[in-house]
Amino acid sequence: MTKIVVVTSGKGGVGKTTTAASFATGLAARGHKTAVVDFDVGLRNLDLIMGVERRVVFDFVNVIHGEATLKQALIKDKQFENLSILAASQTRDKDALTAAGVERVLDELVAEFEYVVCDSPAGIERGAHLAMYFADEALVVTNPEVSSVRDSDRVLGLLASKTRRAERGDGKVREHLVLTRYNPARVAKGEMLSVDDVKEILAIPLLGVIPESQAVLTCSNAGVPVIREENADAGLAYQDLVARFLGEERPHRFLDQKKGLFSKLFGG
């Protein structure tokens, strides 16, 4: 059965789009037919991170308004032919997304794909609400930072009440914690909330911890999802995350401080 997975956070700029791009790419790389949809109307981003910005002809809102078919608007990934991207519209009309329109497009995607990944905008307004409303599962992207954690808790409350599953009494939206921009060295010094701290406060299962990594910027510069960067911790961490999502057991590899040359040479 097809799963709709929302990538959400409340707070802006925590790594939702980075996560949605890598997550969708990882699912496709493992053989699952996947669509990733940008819900950030007015502030399209996913196309750049996926490296397809020059191939956007029609967008999500065009499909909702019947100005293009879904087939015309879906952009096929160059690397993985079982991966498609639906870009957000750049319209400034906040009401461009309607619940009925979104439902119709998602129904069509569900009929064709195994996974539909929804990249939510920040906030808890209309766009964010519609991105999570039809979800079966949610990746709650959080930074180890007070405002991000509190916003994530807020979003968990919404997932439990303001979704189709909640309203129909269809069982809960399955929640996964994705802790990003994690800096083990700062955690070790007591300067940053640890993964255990955040887990304890939010009390949802941990899917993955993505370390703070320069590769994320390099990859977004190039329009390549960081999961395809095999030489970067963040890329490997996303690969582990996808494997866990698909039911594999994988240890969390990047929770400890990287050993510097000194401690490598002298132990410690």
Partner 1 sequence: MALNIDWLKLFRGERKTSAQLAKDRLMVAVAIQRAELAGKSQVPPYLQKMREEIVSVVRKYVQVPDEAVQFSLQRERGLEVLELNITLPEHAA
Ligand X SMILES: Nc1ncnc2c1ncn2[C@@H]1O[C@H](COP(=O)(O)OP(=O)(O)OP(=O)(O)O)[C@@H](O)[C@H]1O
Which residues sit at the interface with ligand X, rule CB under 6 A? 9, 12-18, 40, 45, 121-122, 180-181, 210, 212-213, 216-217, 220, 234
Tell me the closest approach of the beta carbon of residue 59 to ligand X, in angstroms.
Answer: 16
Check residue 17 for interaction with Mg ion (CB under 5 A).
Answer: yes
Two tokens, residue 37: 């949809």
DSSP string covering 27-88: HHHTT--EEEEE--TTS--HHHHHT-GGG--S-HHHHHTTSS-HHHH-EE-SS-TTEEEEPP
Contacts of 224 (CB under 8 A, 6+ apart): 51
Say if residue 116 is exposed, middle or buried (CB neighbours under 10 Å; 0-12, 13-18, 19+): buried
Check residue 195 for interaction with partner 1 (CB under 8 A).
Answer: no
Check residue 120 for interaction with Mg ion (CB under 5 A).
Answer: no
Tell me the closest approach of the beta carbon of residue 157 to partner 1, in angstroms.
Answer: 5
CB nearer to partner 1: give 193 or 242: 193
Listed residue (5, 233, 15, 227) closest to 142, CA to CA? 15
Binding mask 52-91 for partner 1 (x = CB under 8 A): ----------------------------------------
Number of residues interacting with partner 1: please give it, by CB under 8 A. Answer: 20
State the Cα angle at 83 between 53 and 233, rounded to 5°. Answer: 80
CB nearer to Mg ion: give 47 or 187: 47
Tell me the closest approach of the beta carbon of residue 110 to Mg ion, in angstroms.
Answer: 23
Tell me the closest approach of the beta carbon of residue 204 to Mg ion, in angstroms.
Answer: 21
Listed residue (34, 41, 27) closest to 74, CA to CA? 34
CA distance 254 to 182: 9
**Residue 37 interaction partner, one of Mg ion, partner 1, ligand X, none, beta carbon < 5-8 Å per kind:** none
**Residue 79 interaction partner, one of Mg ion, ligand X, partner 1, none, beta carbon < 5-8 Å per kind:** none
- Given 81, 93, 200, 256, the residue binding partner 1 (CB under 8 A): 200
Two tokens, residue 247: 């039911």
Tell me the closest approach of the beta carbon of residue 31 to ligand X, in angstroms.
Answer: 25
- Given 63, 83, 149, 232, the residue binding partner 1 (CB under 8 A): 149
**Residue 190 interaction partner, one of partner 1, Mg ion, ligand X, none, beta carbon < 5-8 Å per kind:** partner 1
* Separation of first and last alpha carbons in the chain: 49
Tell me the closest approach of the beta carbon of residue 180 to partner 1, in angstroms.
Answer: 17
CB nearer to Mg ion: give 8 or 62: 8
Say if residue 54 is exposed, middle or buried (CB neighbours under 10 Å; 0-12, 13-18, 19+): exposed
Q: Do the strands 75-76 and 34-38 form a parallel or antiparallel pair, or are they unpaired?
A: unpaired
CA distance 239 to 42: 30
Q: Which residues are at the interface with Mg ion (CB under 5 A)?
A: 16-17, 45
